[in-house]
Structure 1
Amino acid sequence: MIATADRLKTIEEYYFSRKLKEVRKLMADGRPVINMGIGSPDLSPSPEVLRTLTEAISENGAHQYQSYQGLTELRQAIADFYLEKFNVTADPGTDILPLMGSKEGIMHISMAFLNPGDEVLIPDPGYPTYMAVTRLVGATPVTYDLKEDQNWFPDLEQLARQDLSKVKLMWVSYPHMPTGAVASEKQWKALVDFAREKQILLVNDNPYSFVLGTNPKSILQIEGATEVALELNSLSKTFNMAGWRVGMVLGKADHINAILKVKSNMDSGMFYGIQKGAIAALKSGKNWFEKLDKIYEARRQHMFELATLLNCTYDPRAVGMFVWAKLPPGAPPAEEFIDQILYEKDIFIAPGTIFGSNGEGYIRFSLCVKTEKIEEAITRFKNQK
């Protein structure tokens, strides 16, 4: 066998990729598994989005290569969306780059700004891809603690006392994944000030603002943030378009141009029809968001009931499409706990440990599960009592 690159020794197969093989095997064997582990929206995009996509595929030039920077109209729609929803002004010609999902952006940003040996501040718990990509590009991950008693926000004073001379980039994600914690304007400002003082590029990964979030925020709202910050966003959760792979990064022109250099050498522009559908999605009115939240709120209430049946505790104020729950005292480790439920009750829940060591003692429920399936899961536990 041809030897693989050394970089592969620094990472493992993504947990969900590995675990879902196990779950699919159980289902193939006839087990009625209810999957509450994955944040993949089961709802559809709006009829207007689907209609726009269908009509666009017949337009002249629809099947040709597209611009690496996306359609002018798409960048304008992103700019309009950010102005309307966040009161953030971004020049669609220089400050916005559409992406094939924000996960792509994590790699592109890392390749654009990190050299081997550079250090990267990564939240624990946090999205596992930050760690994996950092290692893949040869940089060094440095985790920073997020704890429940600090509402999952970093202790910046403690961080500032560390040797940060090699730190080039810091990942944050608010609303936070996986906990659903939100950051206040004061906290945003503290992050921006910290990044400016330490000369660190701050990247906020922001795909969950519009799922059960009453007051969506962007780090780019903070005065002077664009000098040190980028923001990733995505249509996956907000508009039920996860499989479409539509994301974006916003920031000042110099930073965006650096990312474009990487993107233009690694992939091509998005399919024309997908871009047109994305434009339609970004123009969605208030009714769309209200309808989405009504569905997720109903599901969340049922998920709270299920968490309570498991003697878990949770923060009812958290936002996003997950319920982050603390295991009861005396419970087994998180991965053992969820495996027990998987094999005894045919229910898959994500263990908190896949998001970092501070996720031990927690589990995460996804709201991408129909209400009747959550009710069925509740019944499975009630029947044992």
Structure 2
Amino acid sequence: MIEVADRLKQVEEYYFSKKLKEVAFLKSQGHPIINLGIGSPDLNPPIKATMALKDSFDDAGVHKYQSYQGLPELRDAMASFYKSQYNVDLSAATEILPLMGSKEGIMHISMAFLNAKDEVLIPNPGYPTYTSVTKLLQAKPLLYDLKEENHWLPDFVALERMDLSKVKIMWINYPHMPTGMDANHKFYDDVIAFGKRHNILIVNDNPYSFILTQKPKSILQYRGAKDTCLELNSISKTFNMAGWRVGMLIGKYELVNAVLKVKSNMDSGMFYGIQKGAIEALKSSDIWFESVNSVYRNRKKLVLQLAKLLNCMCNEDDTGLFVWAKLPSGVKSEEFVDTLLKEHSIFITPGTVFGTNGEGYVRFSLCAESALIEEAINRVK
């Protein structure tokens, strides 16, 4: 038996990869599973995006290798998007790197800046990929607490007490997944100052800024951000194009170029047609965002009803594609989820997937039709 690399011994198969096998098996046995666990948008992309993809097959060179940096017009569209939506000025030539989804950016950034035994500040609760990528590169995750009593924001006083001498990267993610908390202006000023003070690269993972938010924010709107920050963004959630795998890395040239050195050795460019579709999506008007959010607002009302029936407490003002719900005192997240799946054939996500501070919470997805959520309500009733 050929032994796997030591790095694989530090990570486990992704929770959803394992759990969805169980869900698929139950479905194959005739169980009518309602999946409210996964944040994969079920709405359609902008029509102009899909038409641009179809029309691209008539273009010369459509099937050739593409640039590692993407089409110039794609970078122009990303720069225009950041200007119109975030009021951030960017050089399309030097400060934007298109990605095959922002998830690959987590790996590319980590490979560009981390050595073995470097340390990385990771939110608890937070996106599990930050931890797994850090471990795969044989760096050390340092979890920092996010707690409800602090509005799911970092405690900078507690962070300053930590030994930060080996920390190279700090991951932040607002609007936050899984809790839906949106950060205030003071937080961004504080985290930028923190990064400068300790020479830490702050990376804001920002795919949810248009989902049920009052006004989208970018960390690059704030003074001094480009000196110490990068931002990941994506068209997956904003434009219902998760399977297209189009993301972007934003920041000053020196930092973005370091990531390009990694990326150019990992792939051979994004398919031309997908880039053409992404360009059209990024040109969408404010009417697009409102039409999508009107659907999510209606679904959220239903999910809040479902959560209430299950004796869960929620913050109705949270943003993003999910509802983060607090379980009754003493109830364990994974036991609750397994019981709901067994007794009502409803799948939701236990908070423990996102870290130890997720114990006592569950997450409901808004990526299901209202009729399915209503059916889930009726089952619980």
Q: State the TM-score, normalized to the length of structure 1.
A: 0.98
Deviations 1:71-130 (A, max 9, x none): 000001000000111111110000000000000000000000000010000000000000
2:162 match: 162
2:344, 2:330 → 1: CA distance?
Answer: 20
Asked if 1 retains the 8 angstrom alpha-carbon contact of 2:299 and 2:369, the reply is yes
Deviations 1:132-181 (A, max 9, x none): 00000111000000000111000011101111000000000000000000
Letter in 1 for 2:265: N
Letter in 2 for 1:75: R
Asked if 1 retains the 8 angstrom alpha-carbon contact of 2:123 and 2:171, the reply is yes
2:191 match: 191
Residue 265 in structure 1 maps to residue 265 in structure 2: yes
1:319 match: 319
Deviations 1:2-37 (A, max 9, x none): 111110000000000000000000000000000000
1:38, 1:150 → 2: CA distance?
Answer: 26
Letter in 1 for 2:366: L
Asked if 1 retains the 8 angstrom alpha-carbon contact of 2:108 and 2:262, the reply is yes
1:58 match: 58
Letter in 1 for 2:352: T
Shift of 1:57: 1.8
SS in 1 for 2:45: coil
Shift of 1:364: 0.1
2:242 match: 242
1:197, 1:286 → 2: CA distance?
Answer: 38
Letter in 2 for 1:262: V
Asked if 1 retains the 8 angstrom alpha-carbon contact of 2:326 and 2:360, the reply is yes
1:124, 1:57 → 2: CA distance?
Answer: 45
2:10, 2:113 → 1: CA distance?
Answer: 20
1:312, 1:211 → 2: CA distance?
Answer: 22
Shift of 1:330: 3.5
1:163, 1:256 → 2: CA distance?
Answer: 28
1:15 match: 15
Alignment of 1:86-235 (within 5 A): 86-235=86-235
User: Unpaired runs of 5+ in structure 2?
Assistant: none
The root-mean-square deviation of aligned C-alpha atoms, in Å, is 0.5
Shift of 1:46: 1.3
2:212, 2:165 → 1: CA distance?
Answer: 38
1:28, 1:342 → 2: CA distance?
Answer: 15
Shift of 1:207: 0.2
Q: State the TM-score, normalized to the length of structure 2.
A: 0.99
1:111, 1:224 → 2: CA distance?
Answer: 24
2:35, 2:279 → 1: CA distance?
Answer: 31
1:182, 1:338 → 2: CA distance?
Answer: 26
1:246, 1:186 → 2: CA distance?
Answer: 30
Asked if 1 retains the 8 angstrom alpha-carbon contact of 2:337 and 2:349, the reply is yes
1:50, 1:158 → 2: CA distance?
Answer: 48
Letter in 2 for 1:153: L
1:32, 1:161 → 2: CA distance?
Answer: 50
Shift of 1:268: 1.6
SS in 1 for 2:362: strand
SS in 1 for 2:265: helix
1:350 match: 349
2:338 match: 339
Letter in 1 for 2:103: K
Letter in 2 for 1:341: L
1:75, 1:10 → 2: CA distance?
Answer: 37
Letter in 2 for 1:285: S
1:352, 1:16 → 2: CA distance?
Answer: 13
2:128, 2:57 → 1: CA distance?
Answer: 35
Asked if 1 retains the 8 angstrom alpha-carbon contact of 2:98 and 2:248, the reply is yes
1:29, 1:174 → 2: CA distance?
Answer: 39
SS in 1 for 2:255: helix
1:38 match: 38
Deviations 1:261-292 (A, max 9, x none): 00000112110000000000000001100100
1:372 match: 371
Shift of 1:336: 0.6
2:274 match: 274
Shift of 1:58: 1.7
User: Unpaired runs of 5+ in structure 1?
Assistant: none
Alignment of 1:292-307 (within 5 A): 292-307=292-307
1:367, 1:193 → 2: CA distance?
Answer: 35
Asked if 1 retains the 8 angstrom alpha-carbon contact of 2:330 and 2:360, the reply is no
Deviations 1:40-81 (A, max 9, x none): 001110111111110012210011000000000000100000
SS in 2 for 1:284: coil
Q: Percent identity?
A: 61
1:46, 1:96 → 2: CA distance?
Answer: 23
Aligned residues: 381
1:91, 1:224 → 2: CA distance?
Answer: 16
